[in-house]
Structure 1
């Protein structure tokens, strides 16, 4: 038996590859399936099952394409209603892969069809739990995502999650290895550890959700402090449930190289969003008017989902040369399949064509320190509220990037303001969106709060934001 965690940091997502004898199973695969196919061929094993722990909201799984390519059966938990051929498992149903058994544990709460998968090894020992979004390390799955589909409140779903954990997971042996579907950084939980593997025994000791005295306390603890889910989540659920275009077709269209003239013509004719994935430093120095900057070297896919929202939005790409395929791949992971092509030769092609170029008014932290008066100048901080509460520039306004569509409506385009985040990544996203919407009377600060904190600009005293759940 061999078990491998395939962890994708930018999505904080774990897929799992299991082999025994000449058979294999994959749990929660990513959208692009070629790496799995190559692994199967290399190991000379046949893929027998593709397990989906639930209908994922934060990414589009590769289950449909992988099943078509390999003939493997897709397996969902009880109550799932996918619109393609699948095995809908019953609670405690066992699936054999070589000499190991994979036992389905129905654990509703995060979603109604959620399941965990208990691996029983060659010796009959319960050794691994693939816990999906039911149990994370340091947390449990948020119970508010399935409210509409389940016609239940988040409190009712949290109650179901409590029962699932208490009845199905807590009785399992302490030495059981826990492999969750997500880690720190995922929007599917609020208090996840940076580690991606642990034992159940340790989680029983330190996971706040597993240490509540009763169901009422559990419901209160897990629903406290939940931020609204990203708007694209529902669209990803729909794609995972109904199916999608093959990744190969999506990649082929997106890899269409366009001249500056063709790029401009398609942008005007299609209403496509121009997405520039270069670094914020490069983008600030010049970009195509109306382009939105979301840098590839950051939490790219989640921010695309949060900012663009509509997965059917046509997109034209400007990337660093050689990064076109990676960009299309990472967009497809969160369901943005309608990439119409990319600017051949990158932004330099646009500049060489003598077409109009726009720029962001950006200054260094040192310049900011020289010219700003925190009592008189307006400063907008686009970090998360917890970052702001920990430490911020005196008198700065907190307006998180995630809510820009709300706060931009109340922003006076005639009033100058300074804009910053932690390091420049998020503030440049905000700056590009603001400028595309006609707001130009602002100055963005390179290096963000991290750089500003090294200057003499007045700031509040640091307050640790580690939250203790009781």
Structure 2
């Protein structure tokens, strides 16, 4: 058997194609199914089964469209109510696909009806387990996405589900989760990119702690949930529409100027330093080259609001469109392609300074009242921040811009990515941002190295 990993780094997820004897099984496919179809063709396999571990909270599934396209059975957890025909996957069920056998294990925790799939050969020898959002690498899936009233119950369930996997499977069984590679579906940070059941028995908190200690630690460590997650489960239960990767409608400079003047969401996909150097006034900087692009577009922009993309090339716009359809942002208002100078069509461009933490230290020494904005999440801020800085997490900033003082505002985050979004928002609102482009925790160039870090969040 061959197991191919299909990475979706922008969301921190993995899908899988299992091949044997000319037959394929797909686990937790993303919405852009062309990647799966191309891989199946490369492996010369006929996809006979598509299986979901749960109704996903962080992306729209491609499972329904894939199963219909190739004529495969579509397995979805039996307890989930959906608006389409599917094959219910209940605890103990066994699905056969060529020489492969997939046994269903009910592993609640991430959701109530979550299942894992134990892969075996025709002789019954276990080859792998696909754990979805249950057992991750050094962590587990978060348990607060169904609703806060279920979090305690699901966290206890998660503890027992992970232990069941260890109790029932051979220690050498390879583990293949769908989440945990930067996904906000992970309850705590994960470690590594491969593992086995035996290794997880030694390192996973659900297996190294007592039940209540695990529950208390997981719940205490839960971070903010991206806003767009609320739309994914219902859409997956209803059945996502077939994916549309067609080119967005072209937007010329005159129309682009009108949209900017109206305060619409116009997203410049270039690097944060290029954007800071020169950009169209009113545009926002969501750098495409960073894995978190789709996370923060979905988190910050009101659901259903018109979005216009600005890209340097058609390929850049196409890549952004692919990222966005994975979370159901399908109907783009359009796209403009070209340099800021070309798209400005003679109108004045804007810019703001870029610096680093050493530059911030020098500026603070010259002006003790300098305004510094920390755009990191609350869990990051809990470990300390730049002394005297104002803390507004990036996902709260659109509704709290009036809390940022006028004048120069130096903006930082953990890497520079969120700070760039925040700086562009401040600039659009008429502020004067200075982007701190660098890693907060970098040992050589970060806040501590510059003498700016304080353990007190109050600064």
Q: Is the shorter-chain TM-score for this pair beyond 0.5, marking a shared fold? A: yes
Contact 2:256 2:336 in 1 (8 A): yes
Q: 1:377 to 1:201 in 2, by over 3 A?
A: same
**Residue 468 of structure 1: aligned partner:** none
2:279 is paired with a residue of what secondary structure?
A: coil
The alignment status of 1:292 with 2:300, answered yes or no, reads no
Offset of 1:448 from its aligned partner? 6.0
**Equivalent residue for 1:444, pick from 435, 442, 453:** 435
- Give the conservation status (yes or no) of the 8 Å contact 1:366–1:455: no
Tell me the residue number matched to 1:252: 246
| Deviation (angstroms), 1:252 | 1.8
Structure 1 residue 158 corresponds to structure 2 residue 155: yes
**1:421 pairs with 410, 413, 422, which one?**
413
Contact map agreement 2:260 2:283 (CA 8 A) in 1 = no
* Aligned positions of 1:125-164 closer than 5 A: 125-147=125-147, 152-164=149-161
In structure 1, distance between residues paired with 2:34 and 2:408? 50
Post-superposition Cα deviations, 1:46-69, rounded to whole Å, max 9, x if no partner, equal 111111111111122211221232
Shift of 1:382: 1.9
Q: TM-score, normalised by structure 2?
A: 0.90
Pairwise CA distance, 1:44: 2.7
Q: Partner residue of 2:201? A: 204
Partner of 2:73: 73
8 Å Cα contact 1:416/1:442 also seen in 2: yes
Checking the alignment, whether the CA contact within 8 Å between 1:180 and 1:197 is kept in structure 2 is: no
> In the superposition, relative to structure 1, how do residues 72 and 263 fare at CA in structure 2: closer, same or farther (>3 Å)?
farther
Per the TM alignment, residue 92 of structure 1 is displaced from its structure 2 partner at its CA by: 1.0
Deviation at 1:363, TM superposition (A): 4.3
Stretches of structure 2 that go unaligned for 5 or more consecutive residues are none
Residue of structure 2 in register with 1:116 after alignment? 116
Structure 1 stretches (4+) deviating beyond 6 angstroms? 266-269
TM-score between the two structures when normalised by the length of structure 1:
0.88
1:104-139 per-position Cα deviation (integer Å, ceiling 9, x unaligned): 111122111211000012331122110000111111
C-alpha deviation, 1:355, in angstroms: 2.9
Tell me: CA distance 1:98–1:76, structure 2 relative to 1, closer, same or farther (3 Å). Answer: same
Count of residue correspondences: 451
Cα 1:346–1:333 change in 2 (3 A) is farther
Change (3 A) 1:288 1:129: same
Task: Provide the rounded CA distance (Å) in 2 between the counterparts of 1:258 and 1:81.
Answer: 41
Cα distance in 2 between the residues matched to 1:333 and 1:295: 17
Measured in 2, the distance between the counterparts of 1:366 and 1:176 equals 48
| Partner Cα separation in structure 2 for residue 361 and residue 286 of structure 1 | 10
Let me know the Cα RMSD of the aligned residues. 2.6
Q: 1:153 to 1:71 in 2, by over 3 A?
A: same
Q: Deviations over 1:27-57 (max 9, x none)?
A: 0111211122122223332111111111111
Q: Contact conserved, 2:361 with 2:452, CA < 8 A, in 1?
A: no
Deviation at 1:211, TM superposition (A): 2.1
Cross-structure match for 2:212: 216
Question: How far is 1:210 from its partner?
Answer: 1.7
Counterpart among 221, 224, 232 of residue 225 in structure 1: 221
Q: Quote how far apart the aligned CAs of 1:396 are.
A: 2.6
Query: By how many angstroms is 1:357 displaced?
Result: 2.6
Partner of 2:57: 57
Cα 1:218–1:371 shift into 2, 3 Å: closer
Q: Secondary structure at the match of 2:26?
A: strand
For the 8 Å contact 2:268–2:287, the answer to whether it is kept is yes
Checking the alignment, whether the CA contact within 8 Å between 1:183 and 1:196 is kept in structure 2 is no
Contact 2:267–2:286 (CA under 8 A) maintained in structure 1: yes
